[in-house]
Amino acid sequence: MLNNVIAIVVISFITVGSMWGIGGLLNQPEENKIEKSGDSVLLIAQNNAFNETNPTIFVKESAPTKLIILNKDFVKHDFISEGLGLNSAYLTTERDFVTAIASDRIGEHEYYCSFHPSMKGKIVIG
């Protein structure tokens, strides 16, 4: 009886583990790490990174840019840029935060997630 229970637990772990593996293969990273269309930028928080590479976001001084942060992760993330006065607060799974990058703040501004030290990048306005 106990052996059966152990076997079921082990099989469950293997099944869930392999599904994770397949999911990872299906979600292959795209070449372009910045999802930019027109005047908007999409940053996806997943696997403890923004768009996998924490990309530098370039914004032209004359072009106000819409910024969307989307949490596709199983853990909470946030998005903060003190230089730009942005703070999304907690984003739970599938929650997004829509804001704008004020294009008159010329220079380099750091952005980061306060939960994960590896999640940080730069926004360059000029």
For binding to Cu ion (CB under 5 A), which residues are involved? 77, 113, 115-116, 119
**What is the rounded distance in angstroms from the CA atom of residue 40 to the CA atom of residue 107?**
19
Q: At closest approach, how far in Å is the CB of 88 from Cu ion?
A: 11
Closest residue to Cu ion: CB criterion: 113
Q: At closest approach, how far in Å is the CB of 115 from Cu ion?
A: 4
Q: At closest approach, how far in Å is the CB of 126 from Cu ion?
A: 27
Closest CB to Cu ion among residues 13, 115: 115
DSSP, collapsed to helix, strand or coil, labels residue 25 as helix
